[in-house]
Amino acid sequence: MQSNNPYFTQPTNPYYRRIDLPAGDLHVFAHDELFHAMGNKVLEMANNNLQIPHIRYMSYTPDAHVGVGTCIGTTAVWGAEDGFVSPSIVGSDIGCGMRVHLTNLQASELQDVKLRRKLVKAIEKRIPVENHARGYFSDIRLEDVLRKGLHGLPGKYVPDAYTPRKATSLTHVESSRFHFDEEALNRIPEPVWHRSHRQLGTLGGGNHFIEIQAISLNEENRPIAESWGLRDGQVAIMIHSGSRAWGGAVNQYSGSEVVKTMHRLGLGTSDPKLVFAPLGSEAGQTYANLMYSALNFAVANRHLMAFAVRDAFKETFGAQAETRTLYDLMHNYACEEEHDGEALFVHRKGTTRALPAGHADNPEPYRETGHPALIPGSMGTSSYLMVGAQDGGRNYHSICHGAGRVRSRNATKQLVTVDEFAASMRIGREDEIVVNHRGLEAILDESPQAYKDVDRIIDSVVNARLADVVAKCRPLAVVKGV
């Protein structure tokens, strides 16, 4: 196949290529066809990102697509000593990520469409999805959440046997707590504190969702699945959300200082939307500190929503309904990690860390198998539970974060009809994927036609030997915001 990009070379492996861009090397983990579908703009963006000083590594996952300043699907690595931090690479929704809970229900128990509707209503009663709506967790101190993450929540929101055993990992639910210089919190003005406090326990819009799913195991990895507590036909809960208004304010109130620092140091690229500062500079430190507060917010917020969904399950299916935590991990963040004994500063923008079996950074309950890597599909299509492969170290243990958009929100609204969307959700059939919105036009820009085929993305991740499929999760019902 002929390519129109000037850096095209025939790869020896159809699932990986190294591209020798003027500013440095870009590593692409995607099947040829997916790579060619990305277009040249993603290469221009990579070339800009590679101009940030001291960058050691940059790659794209197969779901990579154009974002602001940096593509979604980017892994970018610096040394911790002479590194840079880039708000543009972390992205606008700091701490955005996934959470999965396992229930003791089987999908056959949700066969009645009326029961799925009842469950969706019970979730909506506890998690407002409208824009500007306030959450139901006013007894929580925002400052505690920002400073301590999950550890800042009152004990009643962390029920016994709700989270896995104690473990040490930044992204593990139980120990999720990002330490930072709390002085930086004073940068955020009072109205944002007020708004963010009200937003605790709210979902947000765009691609955020709460989905009820049915699990099917990949036979090859059945032992891993079973050790994680997965069963065929088991009902799971998947939550996708981020740091809401707080993360946006972090970007807003630390961004101008980052830009000033760039100017002072004479740094920049042809893209004014690509901003960065030395990790050791005052602006870099301020941004990093505030970014960590947003990570704390995002993890605690997903936890609170999971707590609310747990209540909804108990109301719908009785007190014996269980919803234990499988895992929670982010796909928009930057933090220090050790790779091959060296301290590095790793950015992931729309990429998911997937550690393999035996890796020391796995939380203890997942040390032997590798931790679950949670990959959402598009609405109406399956999501995946993955586990990192040993070869994943080639990409700093980063894999995709989902299907990846294939057309813009506006283009989707032009192209896709409500009827086509309804058909893909099987609306009106006994096996319909129940959606909380009665009028699908409100979320038409999130229809599956807006996204790449997640199965092909997963195929690339598996064949690039970054991760393996442990289970596939078929949607039964979905709650979307606006």
Distance in Å, CB of 402 to DNA, minimum:
10
What is d(CA 190, CA 194) in angstroms, rounded to the nearest whole number? Answer: 6
The reply to whether 401 belongs to the active site is yes
Q: Is 207 in the site for DNA (CB under 7 A)?
A: yes
Cβ-in-10-Å burial (0-12, 13-18, 19+) of 257 comes to middle
Name residue 215's beta-bridge partners. 473
Pick the piece of the chain touching DNA (CB under 7 A) from 197-205, 265-273, 320-328, 419-427.
Answer: 197-205
Write the CB contacts of 100 (distance below 8 Å, at least 6 apart in sequence): 236, 237, 238, 239, 325, 326, 327, 328, 372, 374, 385
49-78 residues in contact with DNA (CB under 7 A) are 68
| Amino acid symbol at 74 | T
Distance in Å, CB of 114 to DNA, minimum:
29
Distance in Å, CB of 25 to DNA, minimum:
29
Show the binding pattern over residues 107-146: x = contacts DNA (CB under 7 A), - = does not.
------------------------xx--------------
Measure the CA dihedral 48/50/55/56, to 10°: 160
* 262 is an annotated ligand-binding site residue: no
| Amino acid symbol at 439 | G
Distance in Å, CB of 352 to DNA, minimum:
16
Write the CB contacts of 287 (distance below 8 Å, at least 6 apart in sequence): 85, 87, 250, 254, 255, 257, 258, 277
Two tokens, residue 3: 């390519």
In the complex with DNA, the residue whose CB is nearer, 130 or 282, is: 130
Q: Is 245 in the site for DNA (CB under 7 A)?
A: yes
Give yes or no for a contact between 462 and 468, defined as CB atoms under 8 angstroms apart: yes
In the complex with DNA, the residue whose CB is nearer, 245 or 259, is: 245
Give how far the C-alpha of residue 464 lies from the chain's centroid of Cα atoms, to the nearest Å: 21
Helix pair angle (190-199, 244-264), 10° resolution: 140
Among 199, 281, 351, 424, binds DNA (CB under 7 A): 199
Distance in Å, CB of 192 to DNA, minimum:
8
438-457 residues in contact with DNA (CB under 7 A) are 446
Q: Is 331 in the site for DNA (CB under 7 A)?
A: no
What is d(CA 388, CA 393) in angstroms, rounded to the nearest whole number? Answer: 9
In the complex with DNA, the residue whose CB is nearer, 265 or 415, is: 415
Pick the piece of the chain touching DNA (CB under 7 A) from 19-27, 173-181, 206-214, 275-283.
Answer: 206-214
Q: What is the DSSP string of 62-106?
A: EEEE--SSS-EEEEEEEESSS-EE-HHHH-SSTT-EEEEEEEEEE
* 211 is an annotated ligand-binding site residue: yes
83-112 residues in contact with DNA (CB under 7 A) are 92-93, 96
Which DSSP category does 375 fall into? E
List binding-site positions for Mn(2+).
Answer: 93, 208, 240, 331
List binding-site positions.
Answer: 93, 207-211, 240, 331-332, 376-379, 383, 401-404, 480
* Binding interface with DNA (CB under 7 A): 68, 92-93, 96, 131-132, 194-195, 198-199, 204-208, 241-242, 244-245, 248, 446, 481-482
Active site residues: 401
List binding-site positions for GMP.
Answer: 207-211, 331-332, 376-379, 383, 401-404, 480
